[in-house]
Structure 1
Amino acid sequence: WRDLPPAQRPDLSEQHRTYRSLLGSSVANGAPLTEAQQQRLAELEPDDRSAEAALLRAPSLPHATWLQDNEHRHALSHQWEQLFKDYDVVLTPVAPTPAFAHQQQGHKEERRFPVAYADGVRHIGFRELFYWAGLPVLPGLPATSFPVGLDDDGLPISAQVVGPYLEDRTTIAFAHAWEQAQGGFVVPPRYVQGDA
């Protein structure tokens, strides 16, 4: 990714910030922030351009800022269009974690999920699960997820293939070719029908 010319390399962290801002403003629907979110919003530095800050500010986003984010979305779409002049598809994870055990404790915004890094395990929030899945959404690109195997706990791991605008058949064909070459979905051992 770093070897791509800058004109062909969308800044994924800025893209995610814009995604969280526009998504957050579109789904806010007057719902109040949780007490913890209100506290984090109050503590933000004015120049904080993180994705978390964008999401916290989204429910009260000024229209002028929304317009700037929307313009950024169009610029990103153009960058992706340039990238796909030289590449057929882009492969990414679907999520920063494999499948995880079901949990319903506490408010979903306050739940944490383990992610393995080279230097150990960190816990991320619910919204951070959408980093990769949201990548094709903002520029309006087709994406197809497909299974790539099981983790050490026997839970599914998936990837996604992202393609050029309106080329849904390209991503579906890639996922099908992968399945033919590598095998398709494998039922996790703990979930084979008939097991308790």
Structure 2
Amino acid sequence: MPAANAALLARLIRHPRGDAGPALLGTFQSHYRWLQAHTVRNEIRQRWFEFFQDFDIVLMPVTSTAAPAHHNKLIDRFGRPFDVDGVRRPYWDQVKWNALANVSGGPVTTIPVRRGKSRGKSGLPIGLQAMGPSGGDLTTIEFAALLGREVDGFVPPPAFA
């Protein structure tokens, strides 16, 4: 991770009030601070456990846009802003939906549902994710398979077909 942290530090120097500062701080934390965050994670997981007593899955977006285009920068994630309805958003806004699923401690299965339209051209994939309770992997996988039959599903990009 030294290269990634160096990229974060360089980004922080260029944009002191940007997203790199909080991300860099997250890579250097005390054990006490980690324990505090872990307590919060466990509380969130308990709430999801209770939720899944009544529901099998939660269906939600994977990201706030179609899949982001590749940008050929291996370590500078912050150099990837994107637009939502004409508003420029920082890269880390893309991970909020899957971060919600990750912190739950349960499985998530991603389902490609269609391709976006971008300036008249065929766009990149748009997906949904089915989140289930801890240990509910087979439920999310089965749901994804059933939904995949009803939508366009996965279509390999032309370069990979």
Q: Which has the higher contact order (CA 8 A, sep 6+)?
A: 2
The reply to whether TM is greater than 0.5 is yes
Aligned equivalents of 1:179, 1:61: Cα separation in 2: 41
Cα displacement (A) at 1:110? 3.5
Aligned equivalents of 1:95, 1:157: Cα separation in 2: 8
Aligned equivalents of 2:22, 2:2: Cα separation in 1: 13
Are 2:99 and 1:160 aligned? no
Q: Give the share of equivalent positions with the same residue, in percent.
A: 29
1:68-107 to 2 correspondence within 5 Å?
68-104=36-72
Are 2:89 and 1:123 aligned? yes
1:13-162 to 2 correspondence within 5 Å?
31-32=5-6, 33-37=8-12, 54-104=22-72, 108-117=76-85, 120-125=86-91, 127-153=92-118, 154=122, 155-162=124-131
> Unmatched 5+ residue regions in structure 1?
1-26, 45-50
Cα displacement (A) at 1:87? 1.6
Which structure shows the bigger proportion of residues in strand conformation? 2
The amino acid that maps onto 2:44 is: L
> Unmatched 5+ residue regions in structure 2?
none
- TM-score when scaled to structure 2? 0.79
- TM-score when scaled to structure 1? 0.66
The amino acid that maps onto 2:89 is: H
The answer to whether the 8 A contact 2:78-2:90 is kept is no
The amino acid that maps onto 1:185 is: F
CA RMSD of aligned residues (A): 3.0
Give the SS at the match of 1:148.
Answer: strand
Count of aligned residue pairs for this structure pair? 156
